[in-house]
Amino acid sequence: MTALVRVGVLALQGDVREHAAILTSLGAEAVLVRRPEQLEDLDGLVIPGGESSVIDKLSRIFGLRDPLRALIAEGLPVYGTCAGLILLADEIEGAIEGQLTFGGLDVTVARNAFGGQVESFETKLDVTGIDGEVAATFIRAPLITRVGPRAQAIAALPGGGVVAVAQGNLLGTSFHPEMNGESRLHERLLELVHERRRVVAA
């Protein structure tokens, strides 16, 4: 790794510290993003879990929604977990009235598809492009109910429910790998960052 990679973690609500800790352990500079100016000069971004409708509302209050949508459209590598996946999805099932997303992922997600907090569970999953099983924690998690032609399913539960997708510079998972100290999806984000740097520099 030559120049230090700067990866933001959207820090409006949710499990921000866990993502920042993993990014730091991988040699990246983790930048907590709460204001539009903190999006400047980022190489990538993580949108953490939490409550998608709350993050949506706060992003509009703090003036982050439009700059985030522009960066996603420009190809910024972004990884969304749980609520972050919902915010990256083009369509939501079960959205509250007026709820918006940043969009970018050609998928439909169903909010709270696995039930409430008491239905939380942990499992291990095979993820396309990652050797060995990935530890995954599901907490009031969404389910990907439609994968459009621009997106690719990269992980599913034994029953066939899609829980992870990739599309260009975007990555989304229904689950929380950071809760288990699982870093390989964050490594994949950093690979996307380095690939984009190479393309820009060429």
- The residues carrying an active-site annotation are 82, 176, 178
Locus of tokens 């599901």: 138
**The pair of three-digit structure tokens given for residue 93, joined into one six-digit string:** 């099932």
CB 50 within 8 A of CB 10: no
* CA 116 – CA 112 distance, rounded (Å): 7
Rounded Cα distance between 87 and 81, Å, is 9
What are the beta bridge partners of residue 32? 9
Dihedral angle over CA of 188, 22, 9, 55, nearest 10? 100
